[in-house]
Chain A
Amino acid sequence: MSPESISAAVLVSAGRHPVSGLPRAPGADVAALALGLRLAQDQLRVIHAGDPDEPALRDYLALGATRIEVLPVRDGSERARVLACCLESVDIILTGRRAEGPGSDGLLPYALAHELCLPMAGDILDAEVEHDRLVVRQLLPRGGRRRLALPIRSVLAVHPMAPKGLGYAYARRIAGKIETIVPAAGPGIEARPAGPAPLLGRAGRLSAPDTRSAHERMMAAVAPRLEGGAVVSNGSPLDKAQVILTYLRDNRLVDF
Chain B
Amino acid sequence: MSSPRRYSPRRQATSGPSGVLRIVLKKRGARRTPSETKPVRLQADPKGWLMAVVHTDRGLLDEHAREAIAAAAILASSGEGVLVAVLGELVEDLAPLGADLVAVFPALEASRFQPEQALAAVRALVKTYTPRRVVLPERAAEGDLGRRLVIAEAAEGEPSFGCDEARYLLLGAGAADPRLPFSGRGEVSSAAALPFVPEVSEVCRDLGREPLDPATLALEEADFIVSAGGGVADVSTVEALARTLGAAVGASRVAVDEGKLPRERQIGATGKTVTASAYVAVGISGAVQHLEGIKECRHVIAINRDAGAPIVKRADLSIIGDAEEVMRALLRRVADAKAQRETPEQG
Contacts and interface: CB of A to CB of B under 8 A. Distances in A.
A145 B58 contact: no
Nearest to A97: B143
B317 A107 contact: no
B208 A208 contact: no
B204 interface: yes
Contacts of B162: 77, 192-195
Interface stretch (B126-134, B251-259, B329-337): B329-337
Given A77-B162, A215-B25, A244-B317, A110 B207 contact: no
A108 to B, nearest CB: 10
A149 B203 CA distance: 9
B210 A251 contact: no
A143 B277 contact: no
Interface string B320-341: 1110011011101110011001
Interface stretch (B43-51, B99-107, B187-195, B215-223): B215-223
A135 interface: yes
Interface stretch (B16-24, B79-87, B147-155): B147-155
Contacts of A227: 313-314
Contacts of A244: 280, 301, 303, 317, 319, 326, 330
B58 A146 contact: no
A245 B334 contact: yes
Given A196-B166, A248-B278, A207 B177 contact: yes
Among A138, A236, A243, A248, the most chain B Cβ lie within 10 Å of the Cβ of A248
Given A206-B74, A208-B181, A240 B326 contact: yes
B206 interface: yes
Contacts, number: 208
Contacts of A210: 181
A248 B244 CA distance: 13
Contact of B278 (A77, A139, A195, A253): A253
B2 to A, nearest CB: 12
Given A219-B34, A229-B318, A253-B299, A144 B329 contact: no
A236 to B, nearest CB: 8
A141 B60 CA distance: 15
A102 interface: no
B338 A256 contact: yes
Interface in B200-245: 203-210, 212, 214, 217-218, 221-224, 245
Nearest to A232: B319
B54 interface: no
B70 to A, nearest CB: 8
A228 interface: yes
B94 interface: no
A210 B113 CA distance: 41
B275 A231 contact: no
A203 B176 CA distance: 11
Contact of A232 (B58, B143, B245, B318): B318
A256 B341 contact: yes
Interface in B74-118: 74-75, 110, 113
Contacts of A195: 161-162, 166
Contacts of B151: 107, 110-111, 113-114
B307 interface: yes
A202 interface: no
Interface in A120-155: 121-123, 135, 137-151, 154
A146 B140 contact: no
A211 interface: yes
B262 interface: no
Given A192-B162, A205-B176, A252-B60, A143 B207 contact: no
B143 A237 contact: no
B164 interface: yes
A154 B59 CA distance: 33
Q: Considering the complex of A and B, which 8 residue pairs feature the smallest CB-CB distances, nearest first?
A: A207-B177, A233-B320, A229-B316, A241-B329, A252-B58, A237-B329, A147-B207, A142-B223
Interface of A: 77, 105-107, 110-111, 113-114, 119, 121-123, 135, 137-151, 154, 192-196, 203, 205-212, 215-216, 219-220, 223, 227-233, 236-238, 240-245, 247-248, 251-254, 256
16 contacts: A111-B154, A121-B113, A121-B204, A146-B206, A195-B166, A206-B74, A216-B32, A233-B307, A237-B325, A244-B317, A244-B326, A245-B334, A247-B301, A252-B58, A252-B59, A252-B60
